[in-house]
Amino acid sequence: MATALSVNLNKIAVLRNSRGGLLPSVREAARVAIAAGCDGITLHPRPDQRHVRPDDVRALSDGSLGVELNLEGNPFAGATASGYPGFLELVERARPSQCTLVPDGDGQLTSDHGFEPARDAPRLAPIVRRLRDWGVRVSVFVDAGVSNVGELAVIGVDRVEIYTGPYAQAHCRGDAAAEIGRCATTAREAQACGLGVNAGHDLDQANLGPFLDHVPNVLEVSIGHALIGEALYDGLATTVRRYVAICHRDRK
């Protein structure tokens, strides 16, 4: 089974924003990544607009991508005085193929934990209904080893995205067995409840293959930080092709 690769372009926007102006272009980076074979593009617009901004979302949601657009964000993030319209308002305008709900705080540097299904499902339920009414597939960010993942299926969630940061750290230490086991267990529990499984955070060319070999039937991985870092050395198109080759490798 092939796994879809969605390339997260936030780091392209970080580089652009550090200088001001329009370069490097998030849209051009999307074009190169798609031409190299990726299956989707991910954007994670945050209220502080420190990387991708609402205008980036608009530019990539005009129907011209030819691949899936995945918008990540905190569904409870509202409008700000700086021009951020609120996450759900962005999703309603863009109508992406998928929306990944992440419990990021406004000042959080990067995603570092998932929702707790038993605790958070009741307040996520009306948001999930709205997203599905808009024709958007709903994925919810969860920790490996989380309990009661079936609560998300009950409220209409389509997929979970397993937070792979702890696995990536363990892989770097050379002791990934326990963490990859937790990821595999969560994947199987989610699939038993009818949920699809995505994964993301700190995945790279070294740890992605072992992850996909041991965690069953992962539908999609979202990769940005490592991919863009590696692309500085080897080029964006070459790097995307290498990730696609890992994701699309035949697996039982």
- Which of 161, 171, 189, 201 is catalytic? The answer is 201
Residue 152 backbone phi and psi in degrees, to 5: -75, -35
Q: What's the CA gap between 181 and 187, in Å, rounded? A: 10
Eight-state DSSP code of residue 70: E
How far is residue 66 CA from its own chain's centroid? 18
User: Which amino acid is it at 91?
Assistant: V
Q: Is 248 marked active-site?
A: no
- Which of 51, 72, 151, 171 is catalytic? The answer is 72
Residue 43 backbone phi and psi in degrees, to 5: -130, 140
Q: Report whether 247 contacts 234 (CB < 8 A).
A: no
User: Which amino acid is it at 43?
Assistant: L
Count of Cβ atoms closer than 10 Å to residue 150 Cβ: 16
E-only strand ranges, 189-251 = 196-200, 220-223
Q: Is 201 marked active-site?
A: yes
- Which of 44, 51, 189, 220 is catalytic? The answer is 44
Question: Which of 195, 196, 189 minimizes the C-alpha distance to 147?
Answer: 189
Q: What's the CA gap between 252 and 1, in Å, rounded? A: 6
E-only strand ranges, 4-144 = 4-8, 40-43, 68-73, 98-101, 137-143
Q: Is 72 marked active-site?
A: yes
Q: What are the catalytic residues?
A: 44, 72, 201
